[in-house]
């Protein structure tokens, strides 16, 4: 990874932080994105302390807000004319239904649309890397929760029926559907797009979630996999030489694995693509 520029969202803790740290240890220049300025700056400092000489930059944005993503992307395009690896990792689960400033249910906005919009906004920088002879990669951190997910096109925002895990599973399914749809569109570009399940990890995930799900998660948290272990698949998909040219796949434990039947339905992939473009105010 030496000489490559990599961007990791949701990099202030857990899998995102360990992924950024691992990339820095492999010699990459790493750009961190987090919602809290103090936390992302502190994480950048921790990585620099752990990896002397590491090039680490901190960027701040709320990735549930489309205006924030567009502002962030503009700054990133100026800072990094070419980008080798984009790791879409930021995500959360919310026990109560809330809408973002864009009027979209928060889980779908952050966990799915945030991936879509940031990727499309940075596509020129990935294409610049490909034009220079590099093999850029888009890595979408999804979840095995997608197997439980279903895209409810009639109630995508959960206005009639909302549940924290239901919304999360739907958004994670959205990640996999987006991966396959984008991989098709970029097939001849030199850019690869893959999704992954990092494992069930002991991180800050769901720490502030109440209700039955939050209680159950707090009980099992001590028995979960470490963030360091969870980052292994993200790092593998981001940098393994044997994955050059491999695109449109879903990985678990660093190995390809079949994703859910719904995720592999091309008609659903295209329908979610169209929905996402409409929600983002984009064409095509």
List, in order of start, the domains of the chain with CATH numbers: 5-280 (3.40.50.720)
Distance CA 153, CA 164 (A): 17
Q: Does residue 140 sit in helix, strand or coil? A: strand
Helical H segments across 80-194, by residue range: 106-107, 114-121, 123-131, 164-185
Sign of the torsion angle spanned by Cα atoms 53, 230, 8, 266:
positive
Enter the tokens of residue 32: 């961190």
| Residue among 6, 2, 40 at smallest CA distance from 20 | 6
**pTM of this structure:** 0.91
Q: How far is CA 247 from the centre of its chain?
A: 16
Per-residue pLDDT of the chain (284 residues; tens, 9 = 90+): 999 999 999 999 999 999 999 999 999 999 999 999 999 999 999 999 999 999 999 999 999 999 999 999 999 999 999 999 999 999 999 999 999 999 999 999 999 999 999 999 999 999 999 999 999 999 999 999 999 999 999 999 999 999 999 999 999 999 999 999 999 999 999 999 999 999 765 555 545 555 555 555 455 545 456 778 889 999 999 999 999 999 999 999 999 999 999 999 999 999 999 999 999 999 87
167: Cβ–Cβ under 8 A, 6 or more apart, which residues? 93, 94, 97, 105, 107, 108, 158
Active site residues: 168
Q: Any bridge partners for residue 74, and if so which?
A: none
Q: Where are the alpha helices (H) located in 145-208, listed in sequence order? A: 164-185
């Amino acid at each position: 990874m030496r000489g490559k520029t990599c961007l990791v969202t949701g990099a202030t803790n857990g899998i995102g932080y360990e992924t950024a740290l691992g990339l820095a240890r492999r010699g990459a220049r790493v750009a961190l994105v987090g919602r809290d300025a103090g936390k992302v700056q502190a994480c950048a400092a921790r990585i620099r302390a752990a990896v002397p000489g590491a090039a680490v930059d901190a960027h701040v944005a709320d990735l549930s807000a489309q205006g924030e993503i567009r502002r962030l992307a503009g700054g990133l395009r100026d800072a990094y004319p070419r980008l080798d690896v984009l790791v879409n990792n930021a995500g959360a689960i919310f026990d109560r239904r809330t809408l973002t400033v864009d009027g979209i249910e928060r889980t779908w906005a952050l966990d799915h649309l945030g991936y879509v919009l940031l990727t499309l906004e940075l596509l020129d920088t990935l294409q610049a890397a490909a034009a220079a002879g590099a093999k850029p990669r888009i890595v979408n951190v999804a979840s095995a929760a997608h197997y439980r997910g279903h895209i409810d096109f009639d109630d995508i925002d959960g206005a009639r029926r909302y549940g924290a895990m239901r919304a999360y599973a739907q958004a994670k399914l959205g990640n996999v559907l987006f991966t396959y749809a984008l991989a098709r569109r970029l097939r001849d570009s030199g850019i690869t797009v893959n999704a992954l399940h990092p494992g069930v990890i002991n991180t800050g995930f769901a720490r502030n979630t109440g209700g039955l799900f939050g209680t159950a998660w707090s009980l099992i948290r001590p028995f979960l996999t470490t963030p360091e272990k969870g980052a292994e698949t993200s790092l593998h998909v981001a940098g393994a030489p044997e994955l050059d040219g491999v695109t449109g796949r879903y990985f678990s434990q660093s190995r390809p694995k079949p994703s859910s039947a719904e995720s592999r339905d091309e008609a659903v992939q295209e329908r979610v693509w169209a929905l996402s473009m409409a929600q983002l105010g984009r064409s095509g």
